[in-house]
């Protein structure tokens, strides 16, 4: 399953994502991963959550980030859920440039039985149609 938490900058997306991540500790039996582009929220997460600073690995495009996720899943077969904060800032593209990424991510999530919850700063009226099926409110 893929979910995208969207809204304008400052609308509470990260707060919701952090709350969902900490609540996931009780919901999921496997590993819980939180991916961000810096260490800003590392200490806001429960210690059971694996924090990953993707900014340290040069993931600056949708293709590179997809490979990064594949690497995580190939290394750890016990991942249940991956939370990604500030996705568009991380991959440095506009939402329209992520269609192939989302298609491949959906296939990857199904194949590995992993949930992926992403936050992205996208105004309601600018959400591309291929992302709309994944939307949840901030």
User: Starting at the edge strand that comes first in sequence, how are the strands of the sheet with 50-53 ordered?
Assistant: 50-53, 31-36, 79-84, 115-121, 2-7, 135-137
Rounded Cα distance, 137 and 63, in Å: 26
- Of all residues in the chain, what percent carry a pLDDT higher than 90? 79
pLDDT digits (tens, 9 = 90+) for 39-64: 888 888 999 999 999 989 988 899 99
Domain extent listing, the chain = 2-137
pLDDT digits (tens, 9 = 90+) for 28-45: 999 999 999 888 888 889
Fold annotation for 2-137: Rossmann fold (3.40.50)
Does pLDDT of 123 surpass 60? Answer: yes
pLDDT digits (tens, 9 = 90+) for 63-96: 999 999 999 999 999 999 999 999 999 999 999 9
């Amino acid at each position: 399953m893929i979910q995208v938490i969207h809204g304008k900058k400052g609308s509470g997306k990260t707060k919701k994502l952090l709350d969902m991540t900490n609540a996931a500790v009780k919901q999921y039996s496997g590993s819980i991963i939180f991916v961000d582009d810096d260490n800003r929220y590392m200490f806001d997460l429960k210690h059971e959550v694996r924090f990953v600073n993707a900014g340290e690995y040069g993931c600056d495009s949708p293709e590179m980030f997809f490979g990064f996720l594949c690497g995580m899943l190939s290394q750890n077969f016990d991942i249940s859920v991956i939370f990604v904060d500030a996705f568009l800032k991380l991959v440095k593209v506009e939402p329209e440039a992520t269609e192939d990424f989302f298609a491949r991510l959906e296939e990857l999530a199904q194949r590995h039985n992993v949930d992926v919850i992403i936050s992205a700063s996208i105004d309601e009226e600018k959400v591309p149609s291929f992302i709309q099926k994944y939307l949840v409110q901030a």
